[in-house]
């Protein structure tokens, strides 16, 4: 049960959150201009970084707000929590494999 | 290869079992192979086995970062069935099921495939409708499948509580009698032994660290034991598929999630079939050793830790306690997690990749074990012929561009 | 009822409270404070079970949670517990225990025949046989299954209650032995919130079995009592007894399992049986102690062979003699303590057999001073006695430790106390992600680098001396409290003055040699419960199963109910020796949770029966119940399905409800529809983006139907949205999807379009909704409202207004899902029942008929309205549904681009069509698959399936909807539905609208 530090409510148990997958995937401005391959990439292709991964969470049973998390997907350690729309903070390099 | 049989067991008993040969060798890798398979799980080993047996390609290495069968092959709840909804999946899983039916003899290794029947429960009108749809589709695809009423469910599995505490009453089920369970480790070991006997090198403790790609064509892999050249490379790495794809320069439509399972302490036979409930995320069967083997739903975050969160266990065991109130006193003996590679449509990818000569077999999500023989069989064909087998043509990676998805969320029984 | 082996005095038992219990039917007596194991031993009973594979007689081996043999079936069905460790079962009056896995009795067990042919059952034998003939495997398997398993599952519903709770603390201390107590004292004195958990019912840990020690000038147990009193007096300290910290998860989340009532006879009403604690600790101090290892030698499994530390515990804590004449077999100093204590209890010590060549230290001196014969550099090479140990053989060992000289000297004894060194209980540390470090000197894995806020103290850390243990505990307690924000207060200092034995180095022989080659004489077990021997390990390695995980899985080492607590390290040692590799290179198998088995019931807690998942009921639910509704579950909602009257069948009831609705008026509880209040200046733009159709021009007071897609282009929800004001909308969703739709909308709004000023709130629970429809709906409305103009001009279809209905302030929509003129009257949820009753009462003259979801489905199917989740399944686009009319070409919306992917444009996609059976009375089963060409046998090519199918009383025939490949171009074509029961139903494709295609009734 992860302990996630909601930027709006403080640390809460994972139970209160829902997951939104990889962060910083921006919806194309003009989808019609994309090829099928490009659109498929946007829709489905994901990094699944082993190591520090930027991902989205929503405090769905709390303030209902979305935010970004930098989490190590091996140790599950949370390295940073930052607001939607902001750039990820500088993070230590990790050995990813 | 020394044949295993009761007689050979008897003969070796006389010599105190001191003369059994190795089931497979542990060779050092050669500098090059015709085909390298990355990933020594059941699917990878089966691929190597069928490359050698069906396609005469014996110059093959299976490269495993840890120990063979140590990933999801050795961590799943061992359920085998083929009652999938869509024609494409039904054909692929049924192909696998038919291979399961002769696998112990084929491999001369008892994989303990036990066709004790798999029931998928329906708890509401919607479930019943979807169950009927699937049963009808299965039957017309020539796959055994039956619709059970609630009382037939009770007759088939007397320990189930149909009322289930009033919350998720059992209204009916589908039943595939040819479905069942198998001994997971034995599948990896049996294929390893069979492949090894046909000349395949099985290289353990050898992580792949990169791909050698020249002019858009794969030429081999970089490994902890140095570069290994190969004309063709197949990636069969389940939870590590995305990591490997990134090394090869492309991405996959996967989400890598933890999946938990657990067993109880062993007891005398009490439940003699496999019971699955998608609505409450619980699967249960009893192993030959006597343990209740229980599978949970996935954890919903990307995780390589082979562990998940308590709330998933709680949910699953609450469901088990509901359907089987007699098991509330049973005790969890051991719990573990795997890393599953889930696709958006809950169907696998058995496909060529953007890199020539590089093939990928992934995306089996929570249900790959049951497909092991079929997956290896058609993937070997794909590699050997450089084109998909008829049964996996639909499972191309291109479908995520064209939209030809094969949505099996209902059949997978776990909401991804 | 004589406790023949009870010592006349001593022990932590209450001799004033004798307790009667039954063992395999035999009435026996013990005392309060006994464990079931100690009470059995007091009665001279060692033989308590049979092993898993060979059915060898087995006795009580330990005094703790690592017990592999003494697994008993407790209690009577349904309150029966298989595989209960007698060593951890507190004796209670009337306890009933039975032996397991033996027939007809534990003394004479037919299964022992396996033992005679055990050479046919080496590790993994089942992988090599039972393959011929293939058809017989299921029969072979049935036999294997019956032979396997241990105890018996209960066969009836468990009547017990379980509970769960959340907790937080600054410092969690696991284990209340000397280290844990010192840690808890230090942390507690700093003012930190401390939770001290102890698996035993008494605090003290190892001191309970070792009462001769002195701490701070006090006898050990007096010191424990003082510490306990001080801790109990601290407001922020809580002690949990009978509680095991069984798992250490991420982010310092530790799971505790508390056995609340197992030690009571009977289950008090007010207490749960077990409680699961979900604990978030700022800091964790692991003081979990260590577990003694056995030695692996020939026939080391007979009843009467026990761990040396267990012998001490039985003598000192329980005042029980585990035998009359004992031999101690050891590789370290621990065995001597056992010998001295047993001798002091009046037992004969025939010899101490020490693997070490020259053990010379205070303990050996003390033993020799007492005249105990010490056989240094010797090994036990074999044992005798079938149901109870009767003797052993001892022979001198060579310097390398790989062979013995001669067949050995026989020594008669009925007890063999073994000590193979100690394994720190690193389970939780390893689970936490901490790395283990091998100590060559101590012959064990110790905690290395921690991964979380974890400290280790005492024996778990490899500190086996008492003074060091106390010091470490105290230091860890202070350090943990400091890290949690509670620096130590200087007021009080601890002074531990405890004896610290200086230990002699041990001699690590993972496999003790015998005079017979391995596998040819006796069996040398490292894993007692599963009957795994050193020879099995060698076989696995010889066959190429060389990874330790392969060895484990092939031989089942470490897979018994003790999960390798006793045997794993010995196995690793034997493997390392066989592979000629340093032990740490072999690695360890994963320490998986739980540390000890945990009841399923505790995980479920109170989330059982009706509380498994909340049931949502509307404000009118009571009325539905009173009026005989049959319910169906829709998501979490429980909705009226139909309302049978008299002896009506479902079919009759539904027909009546459907007809009433078209003929006069029906009333439906529509409160379950999801309702999302949307406000803000950009609301219209937001709706434009999430719905397929355009919203900018919707007038205030008007409603519009909307279809929502996923970004993959597939239909995900639908519903009517009304514009309440300039910047104010109310969206309705399907009943089952309300939460998911709001989550979906919030995700888009917050993560993609934060610039849009839109605010959303779920108001589903705030309103109760009665939906009336039928030709008399307007007349009924007119009777209940005088401030709403109901004329079609003023209040047309797809509009809404506010007014008073039945005296209640109401929001009224003129919308319809039945195809009849209809009103959806929304009032505040608490007035829902009043509204409903007013409508039903006023509607009597029109024979108003309550109808359930089934009639609603028939009515909407007659009109060809889809239900998301029934006509769709996540693979259906609006185009497939023939709803192109609602898909805007001009604007972008979520999912639009996906609709132009190649596969979406194929002509043979599955499309929504109507179906009419050729035999009008035949109703196609929903879920039936459709084929163009019948074949005598499968396989047959399927074109699609029936999504909805009903008998339509208004049409006097059946109707159905289906998704059919290229269906829209197949109007009039005949299809077949071949069913499982052999019937083949012919039907033909039609438009999916069966009643009032022009919508005249709707607009009336």
How do residues C667-704 score in pLDDT, each as one tens digit? Answer: 999 999 999 999 999 999 999 999 999 999 999 999 99
Residue C544, helix vs strand vs coil? coil
Which B residues 233-272 touch C at CB under 8 Å?
A: 264-270
Minimum Cα–Cα distance from A39: chain B residue? B401
Task: State how far the Cα of B39 lies from the Cα of B61, in Å rounded to an integer.
Answer: 10
DSSP annotation of C451: S
- What rounded mean pLDDT belongs to chain A? 94
- Look at B151-155, B234-238, B296-300, C896-900 and tell me which has the smallest mean pLDDT: B296-300
Task: State how far the Cα of B13 lies from the Cα of C435, in Å rounded to an integer.
Answer: 41
| Contacts of residue C825, Cβ cutoff 8 Å, sequence gap at least 6 | C769, C770, C771, C772, C805, C810, C811, C812, C835, C839
Residue B413, pLDDT above cutoff 60 = no
Instruction: Average the pLDDT over C366-376 and give the result.
Output: 94
pLDDT at C493: 60
Token pair, residue B211, equals: 């791909």
Token pair, residue C16, equals: 């004033």
Interface test with C, best of B333, B344, B398, B406 (most C CBs within 10 A): B333
Task: State how far the Cα of C568 lies from the Cα of B390, in Å rounded to an integer.
Answer: 48
What is this structure's pTM? 0.96
**Closest Cα partner for B334 from C561, C65, C69?**
C561
pLDDT at C465: 87
Residue C134, pLDDT above cutoff 90 = no
Instruction: Average the pLDDT over C558-573 and give the result.
Output: 95
pLDDT at B50: 98
pLDDT at B166: 81
Residue C496, helix vs strand vs coil? coil
| Contacts of residue B155, Cβ cutoff 8 Å, sequence gap at least 6 | none
Residue A88, helix vs strand vs coil? coil
ipTM surpasses 0.90: yes
Residue C861, helix vs strand vs coil? helix
Answer whether B98 touches C (CB < 8 Å): no
Kindly indicate the confidence band of residue A94, based on its pLDDT and cuts at 50, 70 and 90.
low
| Contacts of residue C804, Cβ cutoff 8 Å, sequence gap at least 6 | C785, C786, C787, C788, C810
* Contact residues on chain B for A97, CB-CB shorter than 8 A: 207, 209, 243
CA angle C391, C397, C402 (to 5 degrees): 110
Of C600, C870, C898, the CB nearest to B320: C600
* Contact residues on chain A for B206, CB-CB shorter than 8 A: none
Minimum Cα–Cα distance from C72: chain B residue? B267
pLDDT at B412: 41
Answer whether B130 touches C (CB < 8 Å): yes
Name the interface residues of A facing B (CB cutoff 8 Å): 1-2, 14-15, 18-19, 21-22, 36-37, 39-41, 43-50, 53, 55, 71, 73-76, 97
Chains that touch C (3 or more CB pairs under 8 A): A, B
Interface test with A, best of C248, C249, C250 (most A CBs within 10 A): C250
Residue A97, pLDDT above cutoff 50 = no
Kindly indicate the confidence band of residue C211, based on its pLDDT and cuts at 50, 70 and 90.
confident
* Cβ distance of B124 and C634 shorter than 8 Å: yes
Task: State how far the Cα of B366 lies from the Cα of B370, in Å rounded to an integer.
Answer: 10
- Convert the pLDDT of each residue in C711-764 to its tens digit: 999 999 999 999 999 999 999 999 989 999 999 999 999 999 999 999 999 999
The Cα of A3 is separated from the nearest Cα of chain C by a number of Å equal to 6
Is CATH 3.30.2270.10 the right assignment for the domain spanning A3-26+34-83? yes
Point out which residues pair with B223 in neighbouring strands: B208
Interface test with C, best of A14, A24, A27, A34 (most C CBs within 10 A): A27
Instruction: Average the pLDDT over B277-286 and give the result.
Output: 90
* Cβ distance of B311 and A15 shorter than 8 Å: yes
* Cβ distance of C609 and B167 shorter than 8 Å: yes
**Closest Cα partner for C767 from C731, C798, C796, C743?**
C731
Backbone phi, then psi, for C800, in 5-degree steps? Answer: -145, 160
Instruction: Average the pLDDT over C601-614 and give the result.
Output: 93
Answer whether B335 touches A (CB < 8 Å): no
* Cβ distance of B255 and A45 shorter than 8 Å: no
The Cα of C428 is separated from the nearest Cα of chain B by a number of Å equal to 14
* Residue C998 or C483, more confident: C483
**Cα–chain center distance at C401:** 46
Domains of chain B listed by start with CATH number? 32-117+180-253+344-416 (3.50.50.60), 118-177+256-342 (3.30.9.10)
- What rounded mean pLDDT belongs to chain B? 95
Token pair, residue C949, equals: 């199918």
* Contact residues on chain C for B137, CB-CB shorter than 8 A: 929, 942, 945
Instruction: Average the pLDDT over C420-447 and give the result.
Output: 96
Per DSSP bridges, beta strands C71-74 and C95-98 are: antiparallel
Residue A93, pLDDT above cutoff 70 = no
Match 């022992």 to its residue by tokens.
C112
Task: State how far the Cα of C712 lies from the Cα of C707, in Å rounded to an integer.
Answer: 14
Residue C529, pLDDT above cutoff 80 = yes
Backbone phi, then psi, for C233, in 5-degree steps? Answer: -85, -10
* Cβ distance of B401 and A49 shorter than 8 Å: no
Instruction: Average the pLDDT over C175-195 and give the result.
Output: 97
Interface test with A, best of B38, B71, B241, B303 (most A CBs within 10 A): B303
* Residue C229 neighbours by CB distance under 10 Å: 9
Token pair, residue C256, equals: 């505790």
Residue B410, pLDDT above cutoff 90 = no
Kindly indicate the confidence band of residue B11, based on its pLDDT and cuts at 50, 70 and 90.
very high
Task: State how far the Cα of C125 lies from the Cα of C842, in Å rounded to an integer.
Answer: 79
> Is the separation of the CB atoms in C532 and C563 below 8 Å?
no
- Convert the pLDDT of each residue in B183-228 to its tens digit: 999 999 999 999 999 999 999 999 999 999 999 999 999 999 999 9
Residue C834, pLDDT above cutoff 80 = yes
pLDDT at C999: 87
Residue C57, helix vs strand vs coil? strand
């Amino acid at each position: 049960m992860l302990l996630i530090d909601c930027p709006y409510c403080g640390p809460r148990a994972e139970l209160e959150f829902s997951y939104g997958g990889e962060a910083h995937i921006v919806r194309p401005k003009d989808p019609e201009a994309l090829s099928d391959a490009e659109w498929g990439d946007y829709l489905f292709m994901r990094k699944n970084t082993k190591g520090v991964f930027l991902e989205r969470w929503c405090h769905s049973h709390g303030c209902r707000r979305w935010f970004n998390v930098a989490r190590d997907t091996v140790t599950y350690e949370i390295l940073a929590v930052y607001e939607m729309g902001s750039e990820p903070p500088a993070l230590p390099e990790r050995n990813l494999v | 290869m020394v044949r295993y049989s009761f007689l050979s067991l008897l003969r070796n008993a006389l010599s105190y079992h001191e003369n059994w040969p190795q089931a497979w060798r542990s060779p050092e890798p050669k500098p090059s192979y015709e085909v390298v398979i990355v990933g020594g799980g059941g699917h990878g080993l089966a691929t190597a086995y069928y490359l050698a047996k069906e396609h005469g390609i014996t110059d093959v290495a299976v490269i495993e970062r840890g120990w063979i069968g140590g990933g999801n092959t050795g961590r799943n709840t061992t359920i085998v069935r083929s009652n999938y909804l869509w024609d494409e999946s039904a054909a692929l899983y049924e192909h696998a099921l038919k291979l399961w039916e002769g696998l112990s003899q084929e491999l001369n290794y008892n994989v303990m495939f036990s066709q004790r029947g798999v029931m998928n429960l329906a708890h509401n009108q919607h479930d019943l409708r979807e169950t009927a749809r699937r049963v009808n589709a299965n039957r017309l695809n020539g796959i055994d499948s039956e619709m059970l009423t609630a009382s037939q469910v009770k007759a088939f599995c007397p320990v189930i509580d149909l009322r289930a505490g009033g919350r998720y009453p059992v209204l009916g089920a589908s039943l595939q009698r040819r479905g069942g369970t198998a001994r997971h480790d034995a599948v990896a070991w049996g294929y390893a032994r069979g492949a090894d006997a046909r000349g395949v090198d099985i290289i353990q403790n050898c992580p792949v660290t990169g791909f050698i790609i020249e002019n858009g064509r794969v030429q081999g892999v970089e490994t902890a034991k140095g570069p290994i050249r190969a004309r063709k490379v197949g990636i069969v790495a389940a939870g590590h598929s995305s990591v490997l794809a990134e090394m090869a320069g492309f991405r996959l439509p996967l989400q890598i999630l933890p999946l938990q399972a657990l067993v109880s302490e062993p007891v005398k036979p009490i439940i003699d079939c496999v019971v699955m409930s998608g609505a409450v995320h619980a699967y249960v069967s009893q192993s030959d050793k006597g343990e209740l083997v229980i599978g949970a739903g996935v954890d919903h975050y990307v995780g390589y830790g082979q562990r998940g969160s308590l709330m998933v266990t709680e949910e699953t065991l609450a469901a088990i306690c509901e359907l089987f109130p007699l098991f509330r006193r049973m005790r969890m003996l051991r719990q573990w997690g795997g890393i599953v590679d889930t696709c958006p449509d809950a169907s696998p990818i058995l496909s060529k990749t953007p890199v020539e000569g590089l093939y990928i077999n992934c995306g089996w999500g929570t249900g790959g074990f049951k497909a092991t023989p079929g997956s290896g069989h058609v993937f070997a064909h794909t590699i050997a012929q450089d084109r998909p087998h008829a049964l996996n043509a639909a499972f191309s990676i291109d479908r995520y561009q064209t939209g030809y998805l094969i949505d099996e969320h209902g059949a997978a029984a776990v909401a991804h | 009822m004589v406790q023949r082996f009870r010592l006349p005095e001593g022990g932590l038992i209450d001799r004033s409270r004798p307790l009667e219990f039954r063992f395999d039917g035999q009435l026996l007596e013990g005392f309060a404070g006994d464990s079931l194991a100690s009470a059995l031993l007091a009665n001279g009973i060692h033989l308590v079970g049979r092993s898993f594979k060979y059915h060898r007689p087995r006795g009580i081996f330990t005094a703790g949670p690592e017990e592999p043999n003494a697994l008993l079936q407790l209690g009577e069905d349904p309150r029966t517990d298989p595989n209960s460790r007698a060593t951890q079962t507190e004796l209670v009056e009337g306890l009933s225990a039975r032996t397991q896995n033996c027939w007809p009795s534990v003394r004479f067990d037919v299964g022992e025949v396996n033992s005679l042919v055990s050479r046919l059952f080496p590790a993994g034998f089942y992988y090599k046989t039972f393959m011929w003939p293939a058809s017989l495997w299921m029969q072979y398997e049935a036999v294997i299954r019956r032979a396997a398993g241990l105890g018996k599952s209960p066969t009836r519903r468990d009547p017990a209650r379980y509970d769960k709770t959340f907790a937080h603390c600054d410092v969690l201390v696991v284990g209340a032995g000397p280290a844990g107590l010192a840690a808890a004292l230090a942390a507690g004195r700093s003012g930190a919130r401390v939770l001290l958990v102890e698996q035993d019912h008494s605090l003290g840990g190892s001191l309970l079995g070792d009462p001769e020690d002195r701490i701070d000038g006090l006898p050990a147990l007096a010191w424990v009592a003082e510490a306990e009193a001080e801790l109990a007096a601290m407001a922020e300290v809580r002690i949990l007894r009978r509680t095991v910290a069984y798992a250490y998860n991420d982010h310092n989340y530790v799971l505790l399992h508390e056995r609340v009532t197992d030690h009571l006879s009977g289950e008090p009403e007010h207490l749960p049986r077990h409680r699961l604690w979900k604990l978030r600790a700022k800091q964790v101090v692991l003081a979990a102690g260590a577990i003694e290892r056995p030695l692996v030698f020939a026939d080391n499994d007979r009843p009467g062979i026990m761990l040396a530390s267990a012998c001490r515990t039985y003598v000192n804590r329980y005042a029980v003699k585990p035998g009359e004449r004992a031999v101690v077999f050891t590789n370290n100093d621990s065995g001597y303590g056992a010998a001295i204590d047993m001798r002091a209890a009046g037992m004969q010590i025939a010899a101490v057999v020490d693997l070490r060549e020259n053990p010379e230290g205070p303990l050996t001196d003390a033993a020799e001073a007492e005249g105990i014969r010490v056989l240094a550099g010797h090994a036990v090479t074999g044992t005798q006695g079938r149901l109870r140990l009767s003797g052993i053989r001892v022979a001198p060992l060579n310097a390398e430790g790989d062979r013995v000289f001669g067949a050995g000297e026989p020594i008669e004894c009925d007890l063999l106390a073994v000590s193979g060194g100690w394994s720190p209980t690193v389970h939780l540390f390893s689970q936490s992600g901490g790395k283990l470090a091998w100590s060559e000197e101590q012959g064990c894995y110790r905690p290395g680098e921690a991964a979380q806020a974890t400290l280790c103290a005492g024996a778990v850390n490899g500190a086996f001396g008492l003074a060091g243990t106390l010091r470490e505990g105290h230091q860890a307690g202070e350090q943990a409290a400091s890290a949690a924000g509670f620096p130590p207060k200087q007021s009080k200092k601890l002074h531990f003055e405890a004896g610290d034995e200086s230990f002699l180095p041990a001699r690590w022989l993972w496999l003790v040699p015998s005079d017979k080659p391995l596998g040819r004489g006796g069996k040398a077990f490292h894993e007692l419960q599963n009957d795994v021997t050193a020879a099995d390990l060698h076989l696995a390695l010889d066959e190429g199963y060389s990874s330790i995980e392969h060895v484990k899985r092939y031989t089942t080492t470490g897979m018994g109910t003790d999960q390798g607590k006793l045997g794993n390290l010995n196995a690793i040692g034997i493997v390392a020796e066989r592979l000629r590799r340093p032990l740490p290179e072999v690695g360890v198998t994963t320490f998986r949770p739980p540390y000890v088995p945990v009841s399923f019931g505790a995980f479920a807690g109170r989330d059982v029966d009706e509380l498994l998942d909340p049931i949502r009921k509307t404000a009118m639910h009571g009325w539905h119940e009173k009026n005989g509704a049959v319910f169906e579950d829709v998501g979490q909602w429980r909705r009226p399905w139909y309302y049978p009257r008299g002896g009506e069948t479902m079919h009759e009831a539904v027909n009546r409800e459907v007809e009433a609705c078209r003929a006069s008026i029906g009333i439906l509880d529509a409160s379950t529809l999801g309702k999302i209040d949307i406000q803000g200046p950009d609301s219209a733009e937001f709706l434009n983006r999430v719905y397929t159709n355009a919203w900018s021009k919707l007038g205030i007071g008007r409603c519009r139907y909307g279809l929502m897609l996923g970004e993959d282009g597939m239909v995900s929800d639908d519903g009517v949205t009304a514009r309440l004001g300039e910047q104010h909308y109310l969206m309705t969703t399907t009943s089952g999807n309300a939460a998911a739709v709001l989550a979906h909308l919030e995700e888009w709004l917050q993560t993609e379009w934060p610039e849009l000023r839109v605010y959303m709130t779920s108001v589903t629970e705030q309103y109760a909704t009665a939906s009336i429809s039928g030709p008399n709906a307007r007349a009924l409305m007119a009777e209940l409202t005088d401030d709403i103009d109901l004329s079609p001009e003023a209040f047309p279809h797809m509009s809404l207004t506010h007014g008073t209905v039945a005296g209640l302030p109401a929001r009224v929509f003129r919308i319809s899902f039945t195809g009849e003129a209809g009103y959806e009257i929304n009032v505040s949820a608490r007035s829902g029942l009043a509204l409903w009753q007013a409508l039903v009462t006023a509607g009597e003259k029109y024979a108003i008929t309550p109808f359930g979801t089934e009639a609603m489905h028939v009515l909407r199917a007659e009109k060809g309205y889809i239900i998301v989740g029934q006509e769709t399944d996540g693979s259906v686009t609006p185009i497939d549904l023939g709803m192109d009319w609602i898909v805007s070409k001009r604007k972008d919306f979520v999912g639009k681009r996906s609709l132009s992917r190649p596969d979406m444009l194929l002509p043979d996609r599955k499309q929504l069509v109507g179906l009419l059976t050729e035999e009008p009375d035949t109703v196609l089963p929903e879920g039936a698959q459709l084929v163009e060409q019948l074949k005598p046998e499968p396989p047959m090519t399927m074109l699609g399936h029936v999504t909805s199918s009903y008998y339509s009383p208004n049409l006097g025939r059946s109707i159905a909807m289906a998704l059919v490949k290229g269906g829209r171009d197949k109007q009039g074509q005949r299809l077949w539905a071949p069913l499982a029961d052999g019937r083949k139903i012919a039907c033909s494709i039609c438009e999916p609208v069966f009643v009032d295609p022009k919508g005249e009734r709707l607009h009336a």
